Amino acid sequence: MSYLRQIMQRLHDRSIPMPTGERGEAKGRLEEHLALYGSRLEGCSDAMLQYEAAWLEQHIETLELCGSQPTMLASVGGGERVEALLQESLRFRRLLEHCRRERGLEGDGVRAAVVASEHAWELSDPALRRAWGFPTDPPPGPAA
């Protein structure tokens, strides 16, 4: 499956409309996701933060591209949905940039490719982990 097709599938999966009663809950869920993302970022090494910055920029660029393509818009739930996802992603970027500034990390830090489906703490490819300066073995997954 192509990179763009993977992204479109993920966006489509997230585009299922919420019932009216759940829309108010979505804001609370976003705040929970931001808190979880922040805690994930705190556990990242500097190299992982650089990867995550590149990953998030690629994600935002994809959303912006999607917003300019009528066919893509239709397949993911329309312009309003893409704009909402873009605004959420920009909030995540602000959180990431704050974390990077606190550590004195500057610039884009792009060193290698990113995997569209894997955040820094999920990156599983040993070669990419080495290229980004991560430990070779991924950390164990969260305990169930």
DSSP string, 2-48: -HHHHHHHHHHHHTSPPPHHHHHHHHHHHHHHHHHHHHHHHTS-HHH
The closest alpha carbon to 122, from 105, 97, 141, 109, belongs to 141
Q: Where are the domains of the chain?
A: 3-8+30-132
pLDDT grade for 11, boundaries at 50, 70 and 90:
low
Average pLDDT over residues 109-130: 88
Q: In the prediction, which pLDDT does 144 show?
A: 41
Question: For position 3, what pLDDT does the model report?
Answer: 44
Rounded to the nearest integer, the mean pLDDT of the chain is 80
Q: What is the pLDDT of residue 132?
A: 93
The reply to whether the predicted model has a pTM over 0.85 is no
Per residue in 27-44, pLDDT (tens digit) is: 778 889 999 999 999 999
pLDDT (tens digit per residue) in 83-118: 888 999 999 999 999 999 999 998 766 778 999 889
Region 10-28: mean pLDDT is: 53
Residue 137's pLDDT is: 62
Angle made by CA atoms 27, 29, 33, in degrees to the nearest 5: 115
Q: Per-residue confidence at 135, pLDDT binned at 50, 70, 90? A: confident
> What pLDDT is stored for residue 10 in this prediction?
54
